[in-house]
């Protein structure tokens, strides 16, 4: 069994009509959630830099940019893929450790708009893009994730197959697209030490590279046919352990997009368990700085690897500091988009409390990762009391789901920079996306 071929066969064959209604509804929420993140991120400094780059290079006006105007489909994938990955509110899939929206959707949108395809086409392509990259991510997780940013590496395959579907590629061309997506897969975690802007480059480039692979395949450009399982392929080169069965087990019988999680807090997903639990403590007790002796957060290894930082010095680094997020949650009672700001970053109380937060790995919690992204917290109070709480599934996981109303509310809160009319148009368009004949209609809303 050739894995790329199996994925291509599935992707080539799937039609909109075969999607169960709940998959269609859920996918529209993923797309709405993507728009929220992309709009909220579009005025951030790193995104403006990428926008300057796109303008500097030029390109035919094929697809809309969330920063305004149009450029080539490839440039749009780059820019829109970067824009949606900066406010740290984009969706996440536990099992594969992938933020799929920020890679799959910009690539799909660029092609759908350029080729004047319908909302149904877009929905189908997004479902397939999620399916393929989630499966690849699950196959290599968690070992791959130590060095590699799954969203970037595995995401490239998702962008490629979504674009390939919209370009109506044959099964063979899809195999080549996957092959040349995988050989471009890149994105190292090293940037996290510096809190560098690289994370947005990763998602933007993954969207762009996947699209490039699909566009080349359309022209007959060949690629490796066993990029996943081959002796010098993605699995062996880039993961210590991998599980081939994840690629095909249940393929076509389930829709993995339904396993997607949405983020409510505007920080790294690996901080959400603790934030959830400490917001509960805030609600129940509102302990003051003086009352708190210490906070112990125990979680899985990847959470500690990525978010153990007791001295974040930028807003962005604060989103990746488990200590900061914990202090913020228990003192302020929230960790939303507007809570990560310079005032809170340098807030005296938060800075003092941050030093009292101890983070460590819990072997039992770690054993359940990545199926469960759990944590325990222990808040020791000055009066000798200890508050203990535990979470297996942070808010927004399918097992601890948000409602569609909450997601619409999240979108509305995140998009302060656009008018109420535009917000309503976007919500209306996306919630009835299957009725849109030409996705250009939707994309004019952001211009």
Chain contacts with its own copies (rule: CB under 8 A): 45-46, 49-50, 52-53, 56-60, 62, 72-75, 146-148, 176, 179-180, 182-194, 196-198, 201-202, 205, 209, 212, 215-216, 219-227, 230-234, 236-237
- Tokens found for residue 131: 């399916």
Nearest approach, Cβ of residue 335 and its own copies (Å): 24
Closer residue to its own copies in complex, CB, 60/382: 60
Provide, rounded to whole angstroms, the least separation between the CB of residue 217 and its own copies. Answer: 10
Please report how close the Cβ of residue 374 comes to its own copies at its closest, in angstroms.
23
Q: Which is nearer to its own copies, 185 or 357 (CB)?
A: 185
Nearer to its own copies, 64 or 124 (CB): 64
Residue placing its CB nearer to its own copies in the complex, 24 or 154: 154
Pick the closer one to its own copies by CB: 127 or 181: 181
d(CA 302, CA 200): 20
Compute the least distance from the CB of residue 436 to its own copies, in Å. Answer: 25
CB of 70 to its own copies, least distance (A): 11
Residue 342 C-beta: closest distance to its own copies, Å: 18
Residues with Cβ within 8 Å of 303's Cβ and at least 6 positions away in sequence, in order, are: 270, 271, 273, 322, 373, 375
Strands (E), 56-119: 63-64, 70-71
With beta carbons less than 8 A apart as the criterion, state whether 356 and 294 touch.
Answer: yes
Question: How far is the C-alpha of 228 from the C-alpha of 232, rounded, in Å?
Answer: 9
Reduce the DSSP state of residue 294 to 3 states and report it. strand
Per-residue b or e along 386-417, where b marks 16 or more CB atoms closer than 10 Å to that residue's CB: ebebebebbbbbeeeebeeeebbebbeebbee
Asked if residues 370 and 363 have their Cβ atoms less than 8 Å apart, the reply is no
Nearer Cβ to its own copies, position 196 or 431? 196
CA–CA dist 79, 415 (Å, integer): 18
3 within 8 A of 244, measured Cβ to Cβ: yes
Smallest gap from Cβ 219 to its own copies, in A, equals 4
- Of 53 and 382, the one with the shorter C-beta distance to its own copies is 53
CB atoms within 10 A of CB 305: 14
For its own copies, the closer of residues 49 and 258 by Cβ is 49
From the CB of 363, what's the least distance to its own copies, in Å? Answer: 22
Lookup: tokens for 71: 């450029």
CB 102 within 8 Å of CB 203: yes
Distance CA 239, CA 242 (A): 6
Q: Which is nearer to its own copies, 16 or 221 (CB)?
A: 221
Q: Which one, of 27, 81, 122, lies nearest residue 441 by Cα?
A: 122
Rounded Cα gap, residues 411 and 427, in angstroms: 8
Provide, rounded to whole angstroms, the least separation between the CB of residue 222 and its own copies: 4
Query: What is the residue whose two structure tokens read 């303008």?
Result: 55
Closer CB to its own copies, 94 or 202, in the complex: 202
Query: Residue 237: is it exposed, middle or buried by C-beta count within 10 angstroms (0-12/13-18/19+)?
Result: exposed
Report, in Å, the least distance between residue 277 CB and its own copies.
28
Rounded to whole angstroms, what are the CA distances from 141 to 44, 73, 136, 299?
31, 31, 9, 17
> Whole-angstrom Cα distance, residue 255 to residue 246?
13
For its own copies, the closer of residues 74 and 433 by Cβ is 74
For the chain, the C-alpha Rg in angstroms (whole number) is: 21
Cβ at position 322, least distance to its own copies in Å? 17
Tokens representing 427 are 């919500």
């Amino acid at each position: 069994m050739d894995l790329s071929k199996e994925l291509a066969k599935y992707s080539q064959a799937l039609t909109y009509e075969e999607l169960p209604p709940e998959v269609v509804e859920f996918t529209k929420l993923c797309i709405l959630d993507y728009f929220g993140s992309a709009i909220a991120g579009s005025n951030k400094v790193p995104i403006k830099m990428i926008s300057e780059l796109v303008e500097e290079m030029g390109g035919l006006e094929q697809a809309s940019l969330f920063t305004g105007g149009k450029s080539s489909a490839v440039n749009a994938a780059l820019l829109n893929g970067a824009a949606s990955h900066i406010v740290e509110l984009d969706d996440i899939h536990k099992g594969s450790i992938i933020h799929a929206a920020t890679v799959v959707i910009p690539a799909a949108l660029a092609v759908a708009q350029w080729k004047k395809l319908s909302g149904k086409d877009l929905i189908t392509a997004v479902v397939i893009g999620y399916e393929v990259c989630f499966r690849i991510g699950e196959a290599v997780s968690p070992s791959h994730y130590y060095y590699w940013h799954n969203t970037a590496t595995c995401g490239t395959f998702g962008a490629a197959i979504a674009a390939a579907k919209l370009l109506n590629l044959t099964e063979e061309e899809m195999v080549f697209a996957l092959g040349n997506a995988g050989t471009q897969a890149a994105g190292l975690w090293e940037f996290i030490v510096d809190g560098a802007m690289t994370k947005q480059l990763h998602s933007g480039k993954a969207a762009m590279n996947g699209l490039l692979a699909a566009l080349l395949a359309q022209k007959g450009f060949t690629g490796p046919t066993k990029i996943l399982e081959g002796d010098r392929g993605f699995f062996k080169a880039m993961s210590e352990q991998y599980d081939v069965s994840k690629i095909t087990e249940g393929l076509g019988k389930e829709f993995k997009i339904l396993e997607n999680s949405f983020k409510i807090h505007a920080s790294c997903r690996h901080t959400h368990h603790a934030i959830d639990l400490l917001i509960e403590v805030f609600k129940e007790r509102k302990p003051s700085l003086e009352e708190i002796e210490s906070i112990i957060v125990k979680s899985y290894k990847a959470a500690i690897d990525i978010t153990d930082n007791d001295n974040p010095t930028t807003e962005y680094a604060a989103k990746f500091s488990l200590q900061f997020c914990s202090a913020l949650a228990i003192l302020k009672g929230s960790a939303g988009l507007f809570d990560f700001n310079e005032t809170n970053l340098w807030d005296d109380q938060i800075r003092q409390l941050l030093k009292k937060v101890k983070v460590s790995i819990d072997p039992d919690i770690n054993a359940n990762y990545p199926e469960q992204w759990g944590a325990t917290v222990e808040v020791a109070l000055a009066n000798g009391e200890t508050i203990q709480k535990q979470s297996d599934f942070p808010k927004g996981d399918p097992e601890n789901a948000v409602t569609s109303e909450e997601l619409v509310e999240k979108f509305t809160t995140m998009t302060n920079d656009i008018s109420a009319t535009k917000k309503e148009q976007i919500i209306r368009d996306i919630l009835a996306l299957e009725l849109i004949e030409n996705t250009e209609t939707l994309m004019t809303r952001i211009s």
